[in-house]
Amino acid sequence: MNVDDALPTFLAEAGELLREMEAGLLECTTGTPSADNINSIFRCAHTIKGSSGLFGLDPIVAFVHNVEAILDRVRLGQVSFDAELINVLLRCRDHIEELVAAAADGKPDDPGLKTRGDVLLAALGAFGTSGAAASTPRTEGASTASRESAASAPADGSWHISLRFSSEVLTAGMDPLGFLRYLTTFGTIRTMVVLSDAMPMADQVDPEKCYLGFEIAYQTTAARERIEGAFEFVKDDCTLNILAPNSPPAEYFQVLRGTGLKDDRIVQILQRCGTLSKAEQTPPPADSGARESAESDRSGERGAAQASAANRDRTIRVDANKLDYLITRIGELITAAATANLAASRSGNSELEECMSNVGALIEQVREGSLQLRMVKIGATFNRFQRVVHDMSRELGKEISLIVSGEDTELDKTVVERITDPLTHLVRNAIDHGIEAADVRLSRGKPSAGTIRLNAYHDSGTIVIEVSDDGGGLRRDRILAKALERGLIAQGDTLSDNEILNLVFEPGFSTAEKVTNLSGRGVGMDVVKRNIAALRGDVSIQSREGAGSTITVRLPLTLAIINGFQVAVGKSIFVLPLDTIEECVEFSATAGHDFTSLRGEVLPFVRLNNLFSIAAPPARRQSIVVVRHAGRRAGLVVDTLLGECQSVIKPLSKLFGEVDYASGSSILGTGEVALILDVPALIRKVAARAAA
């Protein structure tokens, strides 16, 4: 296989590892770093380094090697993992991301990157290797008859570790001695016998291959899982056997015989490790049953490993462009199927109609399955803001924590990609404008640390994202004063709370007292609203002065295909998103009224023929479609209910971009175009008229 063909996979995996590395580093800033956390960060750096080496990306390998080295010293307890080191490592992580991006652009040797990398490496070097030094274990060669001081001390209670590294472990970027040093952080290596039986003649030695094996007597109070965990990063490049303290001699012989050693060598090794006394010279007889049992166990382990690998192989990466192409073709298939259904219905052939009904059901299943392929959890997007909060709070001298909920909420990948920038601006605004300085918060009886919350959930076929803070809230008097100054409102105008708060979405609007690197120029909130509107979504604000603000963003789950409901007004056909519809009832209202009674509750409605200036006379028997959005209900008066359908969403051209109350269009089976109604805009229209 051409290595270059695998480069996109490396780039994608490197991105995931860098996000995981960043999340691990940020988690370490909120409490005492755990060994698992540090190991996870180390694993990310090590994997990136090893993968980069496969593609000959030497600048990445060289830089990450230094990052990995400092992380290894952290694991060994030689360097304190404090906030300053974490911040430097976060900057190193950003630099690795730049190196990966340069590699993707075919510029891995950018001199500017090299200069910035050298600055970061100098910053890493300032941390040195202070701290507790790892103890140095005693080593003994199996071919040496002397040096038996350790053997004279019985190793009662010691674990026995039989370790053989693969010959390729060095080229994989691993340091075998590093794992042995790590063992000394939670135990003591009492004796270590180094085996060099696999070493070839001097003229045949490959310096990039490992030829050594190790038999170790290890004293620790840790459990077997902790010992195995020390070799987690090299488990695929070594053969590891761990025997519990005071195991029967036959078990030691069974394991070492499996490595190819002869009985006399095994006796010599076990005596040096203190497992056998000097008097014990006779090896136990080979137990074929035990060997078969051990081999069976190993076969079972291999089978489990193969099954696990098979499960991993069931997951594949697919280029997003291929998914987009699939969704586009399925959209065309839905339109073609609608045309075929109409032709079958007109033909009067019942058998053909039944066949087309089955085809339609299968197409719907394919549509649902294909859309699920593009659904991703929003948690990855939310987690990016941990870094935004960390960096900005340090820059502003504020203490702020981010609480995330609803991470498992799913929506279309395209929506996720396009919502990131608006959410970033909202979070930055909450940090800069919303959360007060610590002394101000304390004077108001609040904790010195502020809190920003990100939450996501599904509601009526939409995804709702909330960005809230416990800061000072929006000051209505300042908003009104600024609006008067800029001529957005006239003196004496009476505005509702929502209308006042929505003024912050006007272009160039800002109540900031001074311009900073982060905000205050009046650029941003209008762009946020415009970008969200482009996604067929809407944004609203709730705020209580002194208590904080919540900005709510509502977005469609997908931008491609929806389950719709067709209605007709005269000869015009409209499509409503099915998820927004509560029920359909027969129209009944007092003449001249724009509301009706629905089971004792007042339901305001709007007539679509008036809204879209349709000249056709109303039908003798009209219906009301009851729709809901953001907790509010309204009725839409239509002439005919045509039933459910699958609708492929087509954006309106610029010529029709200013058409109110339409969020898109769809092609019908007849070839005609139907408008997809903007239910949130319709409900706002009804609510505004009811409030007037």
The CATH homologous superfamily to which domain 3-125 belongs is HPT domain (1.20.120.160)
Using the structure block, give the residue that is written with the tokens 């001298």.
Answer: 397
Q: Which of 468, 464, 472, 465 is nearest to 453 (CA)?
A: 468
d(CA 548, CA 28): 28
Q: Vertex 134, ends 133 and 140: CA angle to 5°?
A: 135
Low-confidence ranges of the chain (pLDDT < 70): 1-5, 128-157, 173, 277-281, 286-315, 511-524, 657-658, 692
The answer to whether the 139-302 and 376-556 domains have the same CATH topology is no
Sorted by where each begins, the domain ranges of the chain are 3-125, 139-302, 320-374, 376-556, 561-691
- CATH fold label, 561-691: SH3 type barrels. (2.30.30)
- pLDDT tens string 22-42: 999 998 988 788 888 888 898
Strand partners, 624: 585, 637
Secondary structure of residue 180 in the 3-state scheme: helix
Note the pLDDT of residue 236. Answer: 78
Strand ranges (E), 166-237: 188-195, 213-219
Note the pLDDT of residue 376. Answer: 87
Strand partners, 584: 625
Cβ atoms of 575 and 566 within 8 Å: the answer is yes
d(CA 531, CA 538): 9
Strand 632-638: give its sheet, edge to edge: 581-586, 623-629, 632-638, 601-607, 595-598
CATH number of 376-556: 3.30.565.10
d(CA 504, CA 487): 14
Which residues lie closer than 8 Å to 330 by C-beta, 6 or more apart?
363, 366, 367, 370, 561
Cβ atoms of 644 and 637 within 8 Å: the answer is no
The CATH homologous superfamily to which domain 139-302 belongs is ACT domain (3.30.70.260)
Region of 516 please: left (phi>0), alpha (psi -120 to 50) or beta: beta
